[in-house]
Amino acid sequence: MAEREKVLEIRNLSVSFTASSGLVNAIRSVDLDLYRGETLAIVGESGSGKSVTMKAVMGILDKNAVINSGSVNFTYHRGEQVVTTDIVKMEKSDIRRHINGKRIAMVFQDPMTSLDPTMTIGKQIMEGMIWHYDTPKEEAYAKSLQLLEEVGLSEPEKRMKQYPHQLSGGMRQRVVIAIALACDPELLICDEPTTALDVTIQAKIIELIQRIQKERGISVIYITHDLGIVAKVADYVNVMYAGKIVEKGTVDEIYFDPRHPYTWGLLSAMPDLDTDDSRLYTIPGSPPNLKNRIVGDAFAPRNIYALKIDERAEPPMYQISETHFASTWLLDPRAPKVEMPAELKARIARMKKEAE
Amino acid sequence: MAEEKKPLLEVSGLKQYFKINKNFTVRAVDDVDFVIYPGETYGLVGESGSGKSTIGRSVIRLYDPTAGTIKFDGMDISGKLDRKTDEALRTEMQMIFQDPMACLNPRKKVEDIIAQGLDIHHVCKNRQERADRVADILLKVGLAPEHAERYPHQFSGGQRQRVGIARALVMNPKLIIADECISALDVSIQAQVVNLMKDIQKETGTTYLFIAHDLSMVKYISERIGVLHMGHLVETGTTEEIFSNPIHPYTKSLLSAIPIPNPRTEKTRVAMSYNYKEAGVDYNVGKRHLIDGTHYVLATDEELEKWANA
């Protein structure tokens, strides 16, 4: 394999929000790496800090957010030059000028609200090119037509003149993707790109993003809670819980050899078309309130495998293989040996069999 | 057995048209037949705009059906309702709505939201009885009786949907229409709500008409499934029949669109696509064909042969 080129490197990032009721520690010391042309999926429940992490990368955190520590190093090409900048240290106006939309583009969850209802589709696609690159209007128009075709919209000339409300949800999400691609970004962040869409349209949008990624060789970060989508698209998976990454590894390692009890829970809770259990598995309890200071392992109160030490100290990241890490005391050499639940084991065995 | 069971809800030839203007009518539901037996869950699936919600709303008579008959518990509820049928319909059929944020009155306490049906139908004789019934129902849906004093905004999404379920249950209905009642919730919460609905069914024997677009959840909760597309019921049968032997290309495309959480097989799988215009299928000329058991497919004779052999 050729030398992998790092695109994004997040180290020890912590973000809090000042709320009327006190400080909310939304993400706590997150490390993350992404290489060129690869796909990373971040999974976790709502409120686990997936979106906040990505907003920090884009420099679009809300006004009441405070970055306590850490760095977000983003590497991009400027002509022949390879430039690395720390987004945390950049001025907001510089981020707007050099990063947002130009080199990192984002596809949001709800295509109904992420498009401007008062502007035509064409104008919205051309806006970024004209602003960032001073592209002449004719050139921008031609490129927009090409983009609309690339994302699979028929009659691009007609679409250019239409307004968002004249399109269906799936078509709108395609337009959003076209806008994101307009400035040839090197990193595409998809924040739950299909949650607002139907299953059939979801499959098409996912396949579209996959195809574009392959053609352009860009890196993609998916934020999602659908493990089916993760299985389809991701090379690497990061599992987030209560503002921390608790397990990371290649998609194979996470699905076939999960180590963290939370990942076990997530995988057991997937509705699976083959199982005939009459009840769906749910992880007991609810995520902790991040307003309170978390002592020990945040997942411990919901974890039936929790050890005594989980209440006192936060587990470090244990390395399992070159790419596989998990943060749980169960991996400590002194910990008692705990196997994953039998049902999950059976399911993994079945999944392995299917793959043969 | 199946022949002896009397259906709770019998819908035949249901049409629901909306006249937009002189020249244009939307045929939201076009000639739909299905039956639901007591104590079972019937899942209606289809993409947005396929008419699933319209069917739910026509059945509970929020709309006046254009044509067709709806029989509920032996009563004909498709024509003009007399006072007695209306009363029975409004108490014995209840609805759970999609968006738990929007379907609860923000200015009312949970107790008053849940007890509204009781008040309107004068079910409770005194305040104490009313409070007791609300407390009972709150416990049943996994909330605490103290929650009765709170307002909707003080709850999380999953808890609010539980309040919505409690409001439907308090009248002891025979049929509950659940219109996309889990699609606005987080996945982990969805599972909790589905489990709750199953538990309640086991306890009270309620019948559900479960409307959703997520086939993997529908599979868990329903005994029988109807697949809707463009206002037509293209395929219906038991969950087993639909999942193991889908005939209609639209059903096949729906099934293949569900991402399977297995990275090794999913990476190379491409979802089947189905385009009504390109497939050359005309739903209006198709007839209902019995495959086996309760499994029906809407098709012409030639189409059926082609699909069955495909």
Measured between beta carbons, the chain B residues lying within 8 angstroms of A251 are 263
Question: What's the confidence (pLDDT) of residue A160?
Answer: 94
The CB density around residue B128, as the number of other CB atoms within 10 Å, is 9
Identify the H or E element spanning A18: strand A6-19
With CB atoms and an 8 Å threshold, state whether B261 touches A270: yes
The answer to whether residue A169 neighbours chain B at the CB level (below 8 Å) is yes
Backbone angles phi, psi at B245, to 5 degrees: -140, 65
Please tell me which residue of chain B has the smallest CA distance to A207.
Answer: B270
Q: How far apart are the first and last CA of chain A?
A: 25
CA distances from A86 to A35, A98, B18, B110 (A): 16, 12, 57, 49
Question: What's the confidence (pLDDT) of residue A277?
Answer: 59
Measured between beta carbons, the chain A residues lying within 8 angstroms of B50 are none
The answer to whether residue A269 neighbours chain B at the CB level (below 8 Å) is yes
Task: Indicate whether B82 belongs to any domain.
Answer: yes
| Domains of chain A, start order | 6-234 (3.40.50.300), 240-355 (3.40.50.300)
The β-bridge relationship of strands B9-21 and B24-36 is antiparallel
Task: Indicate whether B3 belongs to any domain.
Answer: no
10-residue mean pLDDT series, chain B (310 residues): 73 92 89 92 88 91 92 88 89 90 91 93 91 92 90 87 92 92 78 88 93 85 92 92 90 86 81 78 84 86 81
With CB atoms and an 8 Å threshold, state whether B264 touches A252: yes
- CATH of residue B166: 3.40.50.300
Measured between beta carbons, the chain A residues lying within 8 angstroms of B267 are 231-232
Token pair of A62 as six digits? 């809300």
The answer to whether residue A235 neighbours chain B at the CB level (below 8 Å) is no
Question: What's the confidence (pLDDT) of residue A275?
Answer: 57
Task: Indicate whether B1 belongs to any domain.
Answer: no
Please tell me which residue of chain B has the smallest CA distance to A46.
Answer: B186
Task: List the single best residue of B47, B194, B244, B264 to mutate versus A (max A Cβ within 10 A).
Answer: B264
pLDDT digits (tens, 9 = 90+) for A179-228: 999 999 999 999 988 877 778 888 888 989 999 999 999 999 999 888 88
Q: What is the rounded CA–CA span in Å between residue A270 and residue B180?
A: 19
Measured between beta carbons, the chain A residues lying within 8 angstroms of B142 are none
The answer to whether residue A279 neighbours chain B at the CB level (below 8 Å) is yes
Token pair of B90 as six digits? 């409004």
Choose among B219, B243, B263: nearest Cβ to A255: B263
- Look up residue A216 and give its amino acid: R
The answer to whether residue A232 neighbours chain B at the CB level (below 8 Å) is yes
With CB atoms and an 8 Å threshold, state whether B259 touches A282: no
Q: Among B175, B166, B111, which residue's Cα sits nearest to residue B140?
A: B166
Measured between beta carbons, the chain A residues lying within 8 angstroms of B256 are 203
Measured between beta carbons, the chain B residues lying within 8 angstroms of A354 are 262, 264-265
Measured between beta carbons, the chain B residues lying within 8 angstroms of A269 are 187-188, 191
| pTM of structure | 0.84
Residues lower than pLDDT 70 in chain A = 1-2, 272-278
Assign A9 to helix, strand or coil: strand
Question: What's the confidence (pLDDT) of residue A276?
Answer: 57
Task: Indicate whether B142 belongs to any domain.
Answer: yes
Task: Indicate whether B153 belongs to any domain.
Answer: yes
Task: Indicate whether B279 belongs to any domain.
Answer: yes
* Secondary structure, 3-state, chain B: CCCCCCCCEEEEEEEEEEEEECCEEEEEEEEEEEEECCCCEEEEECCCCCCHHHHHHHHCCCCCCCEEEEEECCEECCCCCCHHHHHHHHHHEEEECCCCCCCCCCCCCHHHHHHHHHHHCCCCCCHHHHHHHHHHHHHHCCCCHHHHHCCHHHCCHHHHHHHHHHHHHCCCCCEEEEECCCCCCCHHHHHHHHHHHHHHHHHHCCEEEEEECCHHHHHHHCCEEEEEECCEEEEEEEHHHHHHCCCCHHHHHHHHHCCCCCHHHHCCCCCCCCCHHHHCCCCCCCEEEEEECCEEEEECHHHHHHHHHC
Question: What's the confidence (pLDDT) of residue A113?
Answer: 84
Token pair of B47 as six digits? 């993409």
Q: Which residues of B touch A (CB under 8 A)?
A: 47-48, 156, 186-188, 191-192, 194-195, 198, 213-217, 219-220, 243, 253-254, 256-267, 269-271, 273-274
Task: Indicate whether B141 belongs to any domain.
Answer: yes
Measured between beta carbons, the chain B residues lying within 8 angstroms of A225 are 186-187
- Please give the ipTM for the structure prediction: 0.76
Q: How far apart are the first and last CA of chain B?
A: 33
Measured between beta carbons, the chain B residues lying within 8 angstroms of A355 are 262, 264-265
CA distances from B135 to B92, B146, B226 (A): 21, 8, 36
Identify the H or E element spanning A144: helix A137-150
Domain that holds residue B68: 9-309
Query: In degrees, to the nearest 5, what angle opens at C-alpha A47 toward C-alphas A220 and A171?
Result: 45
- Please check whether residue A28 is in contact with residue A243, taking contact to mean a CB–CB distance below 8 angstroms: yes
With CB atoms and an 8 Å threshold, state whether A252 touches B267: no
Question: What's the confidence (pLDDT) of residue A108?
Answer: 87
Task: List the single best residue of B262, B268, B269, B275 to mutate versus A (max A Cβ within 10 A).
Answer: B262
pLDDT digits (tens, 9 = 90+) for A285-307: 778 888 888 888 889 888 888 88
pLDDT digits (tens, 9 = 90+) for B14-26: 999 999 888 888 8
Choose among A206, A269, A278: nearest Cβ to B191: A269
Q: How far away is chain B from the Cα of A348, in angstroms, using its nearest Cα?
A: 9
Q: How many domains does chain B have?
A: 1
With CB atoms and an 8 Å threshold, state whether A271 touches B191: yes
Number of residues that make up chain B: 310
Choose among B195, B213, B266: nearest Cβ to A280: B195
Choose among B256, B257, B262: nearest Cβ to A231: B262
Choose among A270, A282, A352: nearest Cβ to B192: A282
Task: Indicate whether B2 belongs to any domain.
Answer: no
User: Which residues sit opposite A220 in a β-bridge?
Assistant: A39, A188
Compute the half-sphere exposure of residue A264: CA atoms within 13 Å on the CB side of its CA: 21
Q: What is the rounded CA–CA span in Å between residue A16 and residue B251?
A: 47
Q: Among B188, B137, B202, which residue's Cα sits nearest to residue B158?
A: B188
